[in-house]
Structure 1
Amino acid sequence: MVACLVLAAAGTGLWAVQRAFPDTGGEIALPALEGEATVYRDAHGIPQIYADTAEDLFRAQGFVDAQDRFWQMHFNRLTTAGRLAEVFGEEQAQTDVYLRTMGWRRVAEREYELLRPDTRAYLDSYAEGVNTYLDRRDGGERGLEFTVLAALAPDHEVEEWTAVDSLAWLKAMAWDLRGNMQHETERAALLASGIDRERIEELYPAYPEQEHRPIVDGGGIGGGRFRADEGAAAGGDAALPPQEAAGVLAGVDAGLEEIPPMLGPDSAGLGSNSWVVSGEHTASGLPLLANDPHLGAQTPSVWHQTGLHCTEVTERCPFDVTGFAFAGLPGVVIGHNADIAWGFTNLGPDVADLYLERIQDGAAVVDGEPEPLTTREETVKVAGGRDVVFTVRSTRHGPLLSDAESALDLRAIGAGPPVDTDGEPVDRAAEPPGDGYGVSLSWTALEPGTTADSLFRMNAAEDFASFRDAARSFEVPAQNLVYADTEGNIGYQAPGTIPVRGTGDGRWPAPGWDSAYDWQGFIDFEELPVVRNPERGYIVTANQAAIGSDYEHMLTGDWAYGYRSQRIETLLAGAVEEGGLTAADMTDIQMDDENSGARAVVPHLLRVEVEGTAARAQELLADWDYQQGADSAAAAFYNATWSHLLDVAFDELGPERALDVGSRSWLVVDRLLDDPDSPWWRGDAADGRDAVLREAMDRAADELSRRLGEDPAEWRWGELHTLTATHPSLGASGIAPVEWLFNGTPVEASGGDSTVNATGWEHTEGYAVTTVPSMRMTIDMADLDAARWIDLTGASGHAFHPDNGNQTPLWARGETIPMPFTRPAVEERAEDVLTLVPSGG
């Protein structure tokens, strides 16, 4: 049905598509405005907005964001509110039940009241701008997706935008960047499958601090409570989940896997790069800053490039900032103002713990005593089906996620009111499960916080002191903040609300019936890692350990393993020796394709005897430089071999628990290559290290011969490793015409998982790109008008708009475009100018 409707809409010609395109020139009267606002757009459609007051600035931003991306904004708010099923039907009920159980929007509603008055004013002003757009347009005029929406859910009404809609998006961002919770359930599931703990720990090795430098020198990642290399000693055997709880943990794990990633299609390769270089090493004499967050490959991109400029910067209107924003959230998230620049990578502290709870007689057992549960009722509306009415119960630790499965299991399926066996209407509210084990979630984002305050204060910061002061309010998701300013300073700050645990280490689901495992508070901001103007003259963050092994607090035991950060360190160290670094040099580093993990594996592959096509392919590796360009035959063969190696060596994990292809598996296999007798080398398809390596190369050669031809020299990594930016709501519908309308055009990609140019892929699904450098930005503090940037897709979210996908080919080639900042530079590059005036103005 959807395919027919969309084809019918497309068949009406250009009008059906173009009626949603934004007006980018001339004059538009907006009743919300107090004075004029001007919107300049460059050749790529990127808006730069000017207004006399901060409130008008954000009203204009809300209007412009809605012009370009309202479907994205609306879909995101339906998701965060747990309302997808009321549009997309039964298949989205599970997502809604889990999100309602966690209560993202309920937290956002409480959060609004905690914020500073000026922050609330900015959020409200932004909402006024969005609603002015909604008042001007209806239905398909807001986007082609709304034509589909009218057919899927004709009774669905698009409500006014509110400040809470914007705040709820911060919960979505925090969810995707929440840390190691997935590893908690993975470890528990592996233990339940019969694999002993010692072998499981081999799959989650300690951070290799001696080989891969932490962000900040000194301190430690484990401290007295827990060291990541202590393995089974951490927390003791009493912390292991009981065997009889395996079923409930598996159910929660499966349910959480169904929650769609908010920042684009997920993979284990999610991460980011950023670094700053002091002016003593640069050609301009002032710092350079580079950033490229790695997120899911979606269209439109997560980011919306934007400039926000008060016509005169004053205390009442302090904003003069350009950078990357989220459509739906006022302000700029990553970028620079006239004085400072900043970038983000995910710090990744363990801020979410699962607790196994013992439920008896409707209460949680804590220290041998019953503790009442708190409850609330929720209703998920289902398009074309019956509502899901259920009770959310919470323990002292948080909501019982395990109840969500019960709500879904007891759901009445089909249209019409629920009836009993006699056909009489009944109240079919889902009853919570009875006595037994439950699983609750403690997560810092489930308490209201002040991150929105932080973002606005960061936009207006003038120096490192005011930047750090802004960072104090940045609670979730905790980020690595890199900093540079026009005075020549560089710095780093780790902010965030990070728990201090009692017993346990957060790496396994904790026993909720023992209060010793409860959180004891949070790390004080002054005790979080920070550095300013380090002696070596540069700072690198790429999700590696934030600080060394003597730090008194535990941040996490599940860092990224530092291959990207160490490669950047190596490249920067070499460039520093040569001196005179430029922003172009930073871009070159961002595009580095070296597979550092292959350095440990290739010598072993070359040592093993193979025959036929595999032998000819093996020769490609003999002089391979480990770079994974799109044209590389060696990269194609190596990655195919690597994928099959993981399948053959770790066959007992199965596809549900398969190792990712990136840094964790690089380190795991590196260690195992020195242990040829490890039981991991004994499997169904091959027995012994060399036999596994041989089998992997044979399988890779057979696969690539079928897919790319018989001559290994003609194989190309880019033919396997393609990127198709996917529309999050309609792009994976399985209906080819719909996907054609809304998805991006496929492009070949270089790089790979855990390379600096981090184009991640899921080996259980093939070689296609799933996570990407979602944007790239380089800034020279000596000339802010010379800054460069690129987005994965482009400014527009409208199907077939010229600015939808217009940056993707440039992104794939590693190119960037100008990022003008001062008004003369913005005006010089402007192709369209839109004047927004108050009604009657």
Structure 2
Amino acid sequence: MSMKPARIALFIVVLLALAVWILLPKIDSYNPGGSARIAGLSGPVRIVRDENGVPYIFAHTFEDAIAGQGFVTAQDRLFQLQMMRMLSQGRLSELVGEPGLAMDTMVHLIDVAAQANRQTNILIEEDRAMLQSYVNGVNAYLVQRTDEISLPLRRNPPQPWTLKELVTLQIFNSWGSTVNWRQELLSQSLIDHLGVERAAEISQLTINADDEAMARASSNYAYQAAPLGITAKLADALPAADASGSNSWVTGSSRSAGGLPIVASDPHIDARRLPGFWHPVGLITPEWRAVGGAAAGGAGIGIGRTNFIVWGVTNGYGDMVDVFVEQEDPANSNHYLEGSKSIPFETRQVQIKIKDASAKNGFRSHTLNIRSTRRGPIVSDHGFPVASGKLLSLRWAVPEYFNEVLTTRRLMLAKTTAEALAAIGHVATPLTFIVADLHGNIARTGAGFIPQRKKGDGAAPILVNGTGDAWGARIPPAEMPQVQNPKSDWLATANHRILPADYAYHYSTFFAHSWRYRRILERMNAQDVWTTADHWALQLDNKNMFAEQLAPLMAAVLMEDEATRAAAEILQAWDYRDDADQAAPLIFQSLLRYYARAVVQDELGEALAAQYLKDYYYWHERIFKITIERNALWIDDINTEKKETREDLFRRAGASMLAELVPQYGPDPADWRWGGAHTITFSHPLLRGDLAAKWIGGGTHGISGSGETLNRAAYQYAAPYRTTFFASMRMVMDLSDPDKIEAHISGGVSERLFNSQMTNSLPSWISGTPNYWWFSDAAIAEHQVSELLISNQ
């Protein structure tokens, strides 16, 4: 008896699905074992991988280990490497067309290529050898494994890398952590619109929670009163680094259960595109070993531990860039003025290749004409004109304070915190490091090439008037904000203001809010001895210290209105934890958004208010201060005859909250869930969008946390509740544990399409459970599943 047609069809569909499931991973796969060659090795290199695909590279020398790292990075992340190469060279438009033009323009304005030329020429020999070893490893893979080149690149395989290209990428990455210049333009927009005094009233407020006596530091803009006619849309004309952040802390020997320091570090970036930003790796020689997270194209370890030290990293927001107001010479448009002195612009022309299906050969050319003063490129020529005769130039510190050291080699090879601090003194990027060693020493220090400012504080553009240079030498490494071995035996950084009250320099006016650090402070004061499990739990902590202060004030007012009483009761019963299964976090975040807008929009207007609220760190502490102090000048709505109070604005926010949430989630606030609105989507490396993410990416997930919690999950004001910045990697590193690091990343080791290792760390990231990156030879051997042997023959 024959099968019915429907059953036959179902059988065929199942067979096809099974074939696809079996064959798809093989389309874009590689052999983790076998043999290979890298020219210039001093001895054989052995690379083993564990069950999660994490590579551990055994070599006779440091340089050989780095060569092996280059090989496995190309094996796992070749498409990502190529994307970063083109991005750092100002060639993004070749891949994505017109949407990439703004980024390419920025790269050419700051002239990353020229800076890379200079840096390459002066590299210290040990750094040159390290970077060249990495390049050798990448190129060996490109030449020898042509049959397993990453699928997206098979039609046009990448050209071999050069040392200069790798240096270019390092310099571009340093720029990527350089913020504040867009905030200067926002400050200038406020000055133009409100005048200096009123603009200062809503300038950014930064707080050092360790010293409340001087906690409230902000700029009064006293040195800059000239209106420039900057429009609200100016900030979108050219891309700038986003104000993301990170957490890192350490408990010293007396406060760690194993008797040696424990460091926790979780960098917050936008890592929604799989397989994520970080590539876990181990580097092992007979005398030294390091395990941690590395960036594609980043030789060595970015965050990790060795057999001597351990370190975590956050963005420190040291201010390495200033905007200057230049005057074009009215008698000669090819010159600019410094006082009465007329000086010719430096000029250069760049051709940008843009992907364009309608153009001959699929590309068209865009000509970029760049003028520069002695401070830097004129950025106002490119998308945002300012007042007649005025120009804005951008001055970046890195090219002015170049030294011969570029890599983190010295940090990785340091044996004590003292040696680590000396090495960090050469780091150009504005970071804050947490460091500990086997002797029990702990330290926190700022890094970066921060200028000693003679004029202004970096909060708003500086007028060039011919009275001397606004910058002096960089702040000496020994005078960066630094703490060693405090009596409390713990240290932390959450991108907040860490400057002591008597700090001598204008380090920065831009930092994160204090709420994450306040939660660390609260927990450290409540518990003496910490295990690795305690550290891990703190990284996943969802308590919102900001909400604990503000939500009760909102709830008390909303209880008075029958329409908002149900939501108010939920706020009153809240434990202030931004858990995905609670309704209160959604109610609070919606109220906060509408309340903040109500405070500033009447004075600023819709467009400028949108720019102000877009910069989360800029307004957060300021709006809270206005609220607590009942600042009538800002709380009152100038568009009405009534004198509004904060209670009036809370009621307005409550009505707006209901109008937003009821249509989406129903009339009963008890049915709402933070995780129903607060989501994160992990997209496929090539195909964007929720549908592709669902079927071949990492999916969309409701998650806990917020922008104010240690379990960071921040969203953009204009795109509420869709998470963009989060813990891209979590690490807890115990110097008393000889065998492992507790860690996971928001993705996987490999970018290979349809490969399980593209997302194999994602389930543990979503659930909040740690994976293990092995440290000892015995632990690595126990978990080994493959072996690759590399020789120089």
User: TM-score scaled to structure 1, two decimals?
Assistant: 0.85
Show the counterpart of 1:365: 337
Show the counterpart of 1:422: none
1:740–1:514 distance in 2 versus 1, CA, 3 Å: farther
After TM superposition, the structure 1 = structure 2 runs for residues 341-356 of structure 1, keeping only pairs within 5 Å, are 341-356=310-325
Q: Which amino acid aligns with 1:243?
A: L
Q: For the residues of structure 2 that align with 1:168 and 1:17, how far apart are their CA atoms?
A: 34
State yes or no: 1:463 paired with 2:416. yes
Show the counterpart of 1:714: 671
Which deviates more, 523-532 or 655-664? 655-664
After TM superposition, the structure 1 = structure 2 runs for residues 777-792 of structure 1, keeping only pairs within 5 Å, are 777-792=731-746
Show the counterpart of 1:398: 376
Q: For the residues of structure 2 that align with 1:682 and 1:453, how far apart are their CA atoms?
A: 52
State yes or no: 1:703 paired with 2:656. no
Q: For the residues of structure 2 that align with 1:713 and 1:661, how far apart are their CA atoms?
A: 31
Show the counterpart of 2:550: 601
State yes or no: 1:543 paired with 2:543. no
Show the counterpart of 2:432: 480
CA drift of 1:281 comes to 1.5
Q: Is the 8 A contact 1:241 1:356 kept in 2?
A: no
Out of 490, 504, 515, the residue aligned to residue 442 of structure 2 is 490
State yes or no: 1:757 paired with 2:711. yes
Show the counterpart of 1:7: none
Show the counterpart of 1:646: 596
CA deviation profile, 1:769-814 (whole Å, cap 9, x unmatched): 1100111111111113242111111211122211112212211222
State yes or no: 1:276 paired with 2:250. yes
1:678–1:111 distance in 2 versus 1, CA, 3 Å: same
State yes or no: 1:582 paired with 2:531. yes
Q: For the residues of structure 2 that align with 1:357 and 1:575, how far apart are their CA atoms?
A: 54
State yes or no: 1:321 paired with 2:299. no
State yes or no: 1:437 paired with 2:390. yes
Show the counterpart of 1:679: 634
Q: Which amino acid aligns with 1:277?
A: T
CA drift of 1:660 comes to 4.8
Show the counterpart of 1:65: 73
CA deviation profile, 1:625-670 (whole Å, cap 9, x unmatched): 1110111111121112222222333333536414258565442232
Other structure's SS at 2:527 match = helix
1:301–1:824 distance in 2 versus 1, CA, 3 Å: same
1:243–1:26 distance in 2 versus 1, CA, 3 Å: closer
CA drift of 1:21 comes to 2.1
Show the counterpart of 1:309: 284
Q: Is the 8 A contact 2:205 2:621 kept in 1?
A: no
CA deviation profile, 1:62-81 (whole Å, cap 9, x unmatched): 11001111111111111110
1:721–1:34 distance in 2 versus 1, CA, 3 Å: same
CA drift of 1:765 comes to 0.7
Q: For the residues of structure 2 that align with 1:165 and 1:725, how far apart are their CA atoms?
A: 29
Show the counterpart of 2:12: none
CA drift of 1:707 comes to 1.9
Unaligned runs of 5+ in 1: 1-10, 151-155, 222-226, 314-318, 410-432
Out of 483, 497, 509, the residue aligned to residue 557 of structure 1 is 509
Q: Is the 8 A contact 1:450 1:474 kept in 2?
A: no
CA deviation profile, 1:704-744 (whole Å, cap 9, x unmatched): 2222233222211111111113467x455x6x766667743
Q: For the residues of structure 2 that align with 1:543 and 1:343, how far apart are their CA atoms?
A: 13
Q: Which amino acid aligns with 2:343?
A: E
Other structure's SS at 2:128 match = helix
Q: For the residues of structure 1 that align with 2:695 and 2:181, how far apart are their CA atoms?
A: 36
Other structure's SS at 2:521 match = helix
Q: For the residues of structure 1 that align with 2:746 and 2:112, how far apart are their CA atoms?
A: 28
CA drift of 1:186 comes to 0.8
Other structure's SS at 2:530 match = coil
Q: Which amino acid aligns with 1:109?
A: N
Q: For the residues of structure 1 that align with 2:584 and 2:234, how far apart are their CA atoms?
A: 41
CA drift of 1:326 comes to 0.9
Show the counterpart of 1:292: 266
Show the counterpart of 1:196: 195
CA drift of 1:120 comes to 0.7
Other structure's SS at 2:764 match = helix
1:796–1:635 distance in 2 versus 1, CA, 3 Å: same
1:449–1:536 distance in 2 versus 1, CA, 3 Å: same
Other structure's SS at 2:632 match = coil
Unaligned runs of 5+ in 2: 1-18, 356-361
State yes or no: 1:142 paired with 2:152. no
Show the counterpart of 2:220: 231
User: TM-score scaled to structure 2, two decimals?
Assistant: 0.89
Other structure's SS at 2:324 match = strand
Q: Is the 8 A contact 1:107 1:448 kept in 2?
A: no
Out of 327, 350, 360, the residue aligned to residue 378 of structure 1 is 350
State yes or no: 1:243 paired with 2:228. yes
Show the counterpart of 1:632: 582
Q: Is the 8 A contact 2:188 2:228 kept in 1?
A: no
1:358–1:486 distance in 2 versus 1, CA, 3 Å: same
Q: Is the 8 A contact 1:379 1:387 kept in 2?
A: yes
Show the counterpart of 1:622: 572
Q: Is the 8 A contact 1:102 1:446 kept in 2?
A: no
Aligned length: 758
Q: For the residues of structure 2 that align with 1:742 and 1:510, how far apart are their CA atoms?
A: 50
Q: For the residues of structure 2 that align with 1:503 and 1:118, how far apart are their CA atoms?
A: 38
Q: For the residues of structure 1 that align with 2:631 and 2:206, how far apart are their CA atoms?
A: 22
Q: For the residues of structure 1 that align with 2:203 and 2:590, how far apart are their CA atoms?
A: 23
Which deviates more, 766-775 or 599-608? 599-608
Q: Which amino acid aligns with 2:79?
A: W
Q: Which amino acid aligns with 1:605?
A: M
Show the counterpart of 1:826: 780
CA drift of 1:330 comes to 1.1
Q: Which amino acid aligns with 2:61?
A: T
1:649–1:145 distance in 2 versus 1, CA, 3 Å: farther
Q: For the residues of structure 2 that align with 1:588 and 1:451, how far apart are their CA atoms?
A: 41
Show the counterpart of 1:416: none
Show the counterpart of 1:412: none
Q: Which amino acid aligns with 1:381?
A: K
After TM superposition, the structure 1 = structure 2 runs for residues 725-736 of structure 1, keeping only pairs within 5 Å, are 725-726=682-683, 730=686, 732=688
Q: Is the 8 A contact 2:453 2:505 kept in 1?
A: no
CA drift of 1:451 comes to 8.2
Q: For the residues of structure 2 that align with 1:568 and 1:826, how far apart are their CA atoms?
A: 33
Q: Is the 8 A contact 1:616 1:712 kept in 2?
A: yes
Show the counterpart of 1:519: 471
Show the counterpart of 2:720: 766
Show the counterpart of 2:165: 165
1:41–1:555 distance in 2 versus 1, CA, 3 Å: same
Q: For the residues of structure 2 that align with 1:588 and 1:474, how far apart are their CA atoms?
A: 31
Which deviates more, 676-685 or 495-504? 676-685
RMSD: 2.9
Q: Which amino acid aligns with 1:20?
A: D
Show the counterpart of 1:430: none
Show the counterpart of 1:4: none
1:162–1:451 distance in 2 versus 1, CA, 3 Å: same
Q: Which amino acid aligns with 1:207?
A: T
Other structure's SS at 1:44 match = coil
Q: For the residues of structure 2 that align with 1:566 and 1:737, how far apart are their CA atoms?
A: 39
Q: Is the 8 A contact 1:340 1:461 kept in 2?
A: yes
Q: For the residues of structure 2 that align with 1:684 and 1:833, how far apart are their CA atoms?
A: 71
State yes or no: 1:111 paired with 2:93. no
Other structure's SS at 1:521 match = strand
Q: Which amino acid aligns with 1:832?
A: S
Q: For the residues of structure 1 that align with 2:745 and 2:405, how far apart are their CA atoms?
A: 23
1:16–1:85 distance in 2 versus 1, CA, 3 Å: farther
1:133–1:450 distance in 2 versus 1, CA, 3 Å: farther
Q: Which amino acid aligns with 2:509?
A: G
1:109–1:663 distance in 2 versus 1, CA, 3 Å: closer
CA drift of 1:480 comes to 1.2
1:483–1:67 distance in 2 versus 1, CA, 3 Å: same
Q: Is the 8 A contact 1:662 1:754 kept in 2?
A: no
